[in-house]
Amino acid sequence: MNCVNDLKEKILNGYKINKQEALDLVKAPLDELSTAANEIRKHFCGDDFDICTIINGKSGRCSEDCKYCAQSAHYTTKIETYPLLNTKPILEEAQYNHSKGVARYAVVTSGKRLSDEEIDKLANSLDEVHKKCKIKLCVSGGLLNEAQFKKLNDVGVERIHNNLETSKNHFDKVCTTHTFEDKVEAIKAAQRAGMSVCSGGIMGIGETMEDRIDMALEIRNLNVNSVPINRLNPIPGTPYEHNEPLTDEDMQRIVAIYRFILPDLFIRLAGGRGLFTDKGKACLQSGANAVISGDMLTTSGISIDTDMKMIQELGFKIV
């Protein structure tokens, strides 16, 4: 029996694969796995494609010790630091991205969580964006509570971003200043506030393939809407500065397996896109159907124009 095609057919008929079945895909031929994953994507999602951009709304001086992050105050890295941006740069960037055809725009801030005062300031800024620019809004503001999420939702922020980062089993090897459970509670609080959720993780931070699959299964249980898959870009000065970056083929396999586990979600190529030799094209032919375009928080990415051309060439339609 062909493991890949058998599982694909079961998924097309509504089956949810289990952990062992996902692990069985790890050694499947990559071309076969990618083709099947793309068929699953086509069946459940059609050619819908979600492109978003991000702005670094508050940079550096973060109290958390996430070992991959250039913005942690625990490490010495060469980044710009500044407090929460005012309305003008947030609005101007939103308007620019909207003019380029970008569908979604996210304000991402450093720190464990935004304070109530910062939430008020950001809500005022995004209320202005919502009134003047018809771009979908997302915020990544850390471990917020339900009332804070509700305040953002009330001004037009429809989605919250909060990465699990890795599996529950591996999480304390990556970060010790907050927990996996803290992440899960923030996601559930956002959902209670009426928001959709974008949550994924970083690949190449010392995790195993089992950790990656465990995280995907947790994401499935949490009923999130969008799953960013980041590829570690080792930053000098962080504990992971000497980690060997994953290969394009590694990322292609991860994306394909995630599509088998998460057949109807947006699977998004995110951080580390600048490391891809093909700008992520093979992953977009292996089940991925979303990207973060433009520059990332502290590293460069793929230009919006380049992404738009690739999206069109692959037959996707931006929603």
Q: What is the pTM of this model?
A: 0.95
Q: Which residues contact 309 (CB under 8 A, 6 or more apart)?
A: none
CA dist 4 and 237 (Å) reads 41
CA dist 33 and 39 (Å) reads 10
Q: What is the chain's mean pLDDT, rounded?
A: 95
Mean pLDDT across 137-155: 97
- The model's confidence at residue 1, banded by pLDDT at 50, 70 and 90, is very low
Phi, psi of 309 (to 5 degrees): -65, -45
CA dist 208 and 211 (Å) reads 5
With a cut of 60, say whether residue 255 has pLDDT above it: yes
- Whether residue 229 contacts residue 203, with contact meaning beta carbons closer than 8 Å, is answered with yes
Phi, psi of 219 (to 5 degrees): -60, -40
Mean pLDDT across 54-78: 90
- Whether residue 280 contacts residue 291, with contact meaning beta carbons closer than 8 Å, is answered with yes
- Whether residue 279 contacts residue 302, with contact meaning beta carbons closer than 8 Å, is answered with yes
